[in-house]
Amino acid sequence: MSDDKIPIPDQSIIERRFAFIENEILRTNIIIAFRYIVFLINLEQNTQLPGPIIYSLHKDMIVQTAIIVESCVHYLLKSYLESKRISDAVLQTDWKEDKCVIIEESDHGNRQICAIIRHKNTILLTKHTQFVVLNRICLRASLFNRSIFNSVEELREARNKIHLAGLESIDEIYEKDEVDLQFKNAQRVINHIEKKLKEL
């Protein structure tokens, strides 16, 4: 590798792109991740690297892209909940069974009539809320239409391929076309999130 430095865009340039994120800490962390993606792109384009390293660069690009999108999705949902533009009811999911209460026994104790006590399970929105859960809540709250939801899910699923223990073949699945597709998904979703946040 030569002594030439790999160009990375100035933070202020990227900052304008994510100006819709009002939380300064989150925006700065997103910018750092975005600058790292640009670094990886430049590294791939400006150096001769063996195939497995290129696949790893592609994987990192997808992972970092998903991290940015997940952060923006979380921010969108949190912003809408805090502004009361959507109800906390969107955090409720399916019924969860607590216990079975025996009402009556018959047939010498061989049969029971029971009642099941259930309650709605409520998700707590925290910094640890899983990406898939965030996406489903955004769909349920109509913050995402089905098409945006599918784009986010496609990116999330591409990111989830990183788990080496679950792979059934050599980890060479990250081609440039896959990265480009996930960049398009991310751009589409981020544009949508920016628009939704401007509606607040």
pLDDT tens across 108-120, in order?
878 888 888 887 7
Q: What is the mean pLDDT of the chain?
A: 88
Q: Over 90: is that where the pLDDT of 174 sits?
A: no
Domain range annotation of the chain: 11-91+130-198
Residues 6 or more apart in contact with residue 103 via CB below 8 angstroms? 112, 113, 114, 115
Whether 1 has a pLDDT exceeding 50, the answer reads no
Q: Which range (11-20, 46-55, 119-128) has the least confidence?
A: 119-128
Q: What is the pTM of this model?
A: 0.83
DSSP assignment of the chain equals: --SPPPP---HHHHHHHTTT---HHHHHHHHHHHHHHHHHHHHHHHS---HHHHHHHHHHHHHHHHHHHHHHHHHHHHHHHHTTSS-GGGGEEEEEEEEEEEEEEETTTTEEEEEEEEEEEE----TT--HHHHHHHHHHTTSS-HHHHHHHHHHHHHHHTT-GGG-SS-S----HHHHHHHHHHHHHHHHHHHHHHHT-
Q: How confident is the model at residue 35 (pLDDT cuts 50, 70, 90)?
A: very high
In this prediction, what percent of the chain has a pLDDT beyond 90? 58
Give dist(CA 135, CA 7) in Å, integer: 34
Lowest average pLDDT, out of 73-82, 87-96, 161-170, 174-183, goes to 161-170
Q: From the centroid of its chain, how far is CA 98?
A: 30
Residue 186 is predicted with a pLDDT of 97
Compute the distance between CA of residue 5 and CA of residue 139 in angstroms, rounded to an integer. Answer: 43
Which of 11-25, 41-55, 105-119, 150-164 is predicted with the least confidence, judged by mean pLDDT? 105-119
Residue 12's alpha-carbon distances to 40, 99, 136, in angstroms, are 19, 56, 33
Distance CA 190, CA 177 (A): 20
The model's confidence at residue 164, banded by pLDDT at 50, 70 and 90, is low
Ranking 29-43, 139-153, 161-175 by mean pLDDT, the lowest is: 161-175
Q: Could you give phi then psi for residue 112, rounded to 5 degrees?
A: -135, 145
